[in-house]
């Protein structure tokens, strides 16, 4: 059986091909699945998708009409998948329920340190042989407060890093993590966490209840000199409200690895095109903002785990097995 994989990065392609070797043939595409590209999947029973692929109702209808019966999502998040439509159409959907939490947690910490210590600005200056320190002053993280919104595996990994730096830990989640408690984390309301934290980091899934979790009122609750990091999902932050606060001169730094409207932008080269997204164009102009292209998960360790799980999900489908990764079971 030939499997069609959408949204495959060049670094990822040989890893996918090697992982499927001896099982099924896989054809990796650098294009993302959407209504315009769905017809490419015609005749392929199994396809694999990335988090920025469009798996809305219209796309799923086209896939089902073309003979697709199984979708193997190469990510933990599945907010891009219309699960109700998939179930109605008899499409099996599986995801990667777990991969290295350290990849995302370490990158989130990297973003926090980069904006705190003005690393990008300093690097740009020294490339021009400008070695002044003006405007590069940061702050010690030791003794300050880290607020972790979402204390699952990734949030816990981030908390361990912050604890190692000697930070006070505040947490917010629907369920407390005993491991975070052992680190000295105090669970508080979202409002108190935002008000008391010097560093706020987001590690919650994007579901209807968390959409724009950090909205205008939440941003205004935060300290003027706080650092905000989002390496989870772009829809957790109201970007227009964030821009308004940044224009008012607030926040020491903001590190974003995800963006509300990143689909059709992230993972693609848009350097020679006019920027149509005015909000993103404004966001990247702030000197205290660092935007990266949804790369927090992108380590050899994490990607290897994602691909290995994807292979297992496909093999489980062909063998009629069901695992904890299945979101919509085989009908």
Give one DSSP letter per residue of 277-313, joined into a string: -HHHHHHTTSTTEEE--S-TT-SHHHHHHHHHHHHHH
pLDDT of residue 263: 83
Query: Mean pLDDT for each 10-residue chunk of the chain (331 residues)?
Result: 94 94 93 94 96 94 97 92 96 95 98 97 95 96 98 98 98 97 98 98 95 98 98 96 97 97 87 90 95 96 96 95 92 73
**Cut 0.95: pTM above it:** no
- Give strand pairing partners of 230: 202, 256
Q: Who's near 255: CB < 8 A, 6+ residues apart?
A: 108, 111, 112, 114, 115, 227, 228, 229, 230, 231, 289, 290, 292
Contact 222, 228 (CB under 8 A): yes
Residues annotated as catalytic (active site), given as ranges: 233, 262, 294
pLDDT of residue 274: 86
pLDDT of residue 13: 94
327 three-state secondary structure: strand
Q: Who's near 198: CB < 8 A, 6+ residues apart?
A: 139, 141, 144, 145, 146, 223, 225, 226, 227
pLDDT of residue 216: 97
pLDDT of residue 331: 73
């Amino acid at each position: 059986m030939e499997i069609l994989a959408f949204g495959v990065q060049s670094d990822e392609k040989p890893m996918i091909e090697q992982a499927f070797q001896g099982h099924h043939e896989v054809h990796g595409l650098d294009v993302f699945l959407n209504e315009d590209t769905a017809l490419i999947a015609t005749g392929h029973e199994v396809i694999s998708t990335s988090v920025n692929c469009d798996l809305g109702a219209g796309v799923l209808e086209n896939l089902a009409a073309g003979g697709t019966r199984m979708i193997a999502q190469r990510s933990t998040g599945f907010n891009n998948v219309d699960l109700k439509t998939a179930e109605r159409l008899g499409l099996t959907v599986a995801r990667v329920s777990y991969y290295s939490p350290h990849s995302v947690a370490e990158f989130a910490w990297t973003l926090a340190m980069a904006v705190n210590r003005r690393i990008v600005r300093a690097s740009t200056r020294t490339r021009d042989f400008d070695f002044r320190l003006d405007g590069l002053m940061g702050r010690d993280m030791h003794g300050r407060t880290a607020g972790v919104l979402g204390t699952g595996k990734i949030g816990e990994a981030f908390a361990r890093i912050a604890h190692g730096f000697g930070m006070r830990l505040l947490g917010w989640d629907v369920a407390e993590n005993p491991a975070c408690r052992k680190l000295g984390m105090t669970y508080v309301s979202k409002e108190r966490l935002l008000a008391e934290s010097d560093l706020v980091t987001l590690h919650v899934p994007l579901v209807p209840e968390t959409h724009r979790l950090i909205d205008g009122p939440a941003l205004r609750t935060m300290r003027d000199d706080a650092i905000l990091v989002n390496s989870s999902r772009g829809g957790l932050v109201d970007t227009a409200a964030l821009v308004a606060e940044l224009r008012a001169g607030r926040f020491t730094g903001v590190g974003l690895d995800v963006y509300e409207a990143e689909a059709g932008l992230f993972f693609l080269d848009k350097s020679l095109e006019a920027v149509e997204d005015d909000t993103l164009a404004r966001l990247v102009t702030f000197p205290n903002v660092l935007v990266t292209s949804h790369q927090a998960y992108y380590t050899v360790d994490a990607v290897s785990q994602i691909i290995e799980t994807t292979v297992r999900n496909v093999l489980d489908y062909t063998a009629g097995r069901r695992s904890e990764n299945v979101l919509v079971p085989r009908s």
